[in-house]
Amino acid sequence: MRLKDKVAVVTGAASGFGEAIARRFAGEGASVVVSDVNAAGAKGVAESIAAKGGKAIALSTDVTKSADVKAAVDRAVSSFGRLDIMVNNAGVPQRYGPMAETNEAMFDRVFAVNVKSIYWSAIHAVPLLRRGGGGVIINTVSNAAARPRPGLTWYNGSKGAVATITRSMAVELAPDKIRVNGINPTAADTPMLTEEFGAITPELRAKFIAGIPLGRFCEPIDIANAALFLVSEEARFLTGVLLDVDGGRSV
């Protein structure tokens, strides 16, 4: 049990990467707050974890709202006694298209969910991690931060901000024994991909896979395994790392 007695909050945990992270952490002994704006989805994941003997509770969370993020970290303490791990995984895509044709509402939503949520997490989670003598923060970044492509300019920019924020947080919080790392996934067969591009045709799927040397999409378990390593004792000297989990696409 690599995370025995640890307590984690995972945002965006009702599906995709977040769900896989929550399940993986719980399977390694962590108590998990399954946090998502999709309350029913979060409840289903938490109940499934509990049915398998794990410890998890669900919480409806809009990560763009200070009060909601505070409620998530406070719930970790009230339910499980402490907070050790904060996973900022919640994110939204930009609809694929020319940057000048992206409306202001979509721009604001992308930056509120992908970037401002980490600000709220820092405001509310860092004091609890300091109080506990340290901990780990994981931010889900994206391969798009390092290899931006046309048609997703504002999404690329939001993830570029998360990459820089992750490294800056790592340096600032190191004296508090709080490690901060990021994970850079490549294209994954999750609901977010459909939100970005609409129907994923066989031709589009083949085009994505052609750019990934290992020859397949990223899978949620790939991200969950990377997150598990980064929060574990095996990674105790790693901070400020942006780990590419992309099948070689970034090479």
Distance CA(95)–CA(98), nearest Å, equals 9
Q: Given the residues 155, 197, 208, 217, select the one marked as catalytic.
A: 155
Radius of gyration of the chain (CA): 17
Q: What stretches of 134-177 show up as alpha helix (H) in DSSP? A: 153-173
* 96 catalytically annotated: no
Strands of 242-245's sheet in order across: 55-60, 31-36, 7-11, 85-88, 135-140, 178-185, 242-245
Backbone angles phi, psi at 226, to 5 degrees: -65, -45
Q: What b/e sequence results for 195-217 when a residue is b if at least 16 CB atoms lie within 10 Å of its CB, and e otherwise?
A: ebbeeeeeeeeeebeeebeeeeb
Q: Supply the residues annotated as catalytic.
A: 155
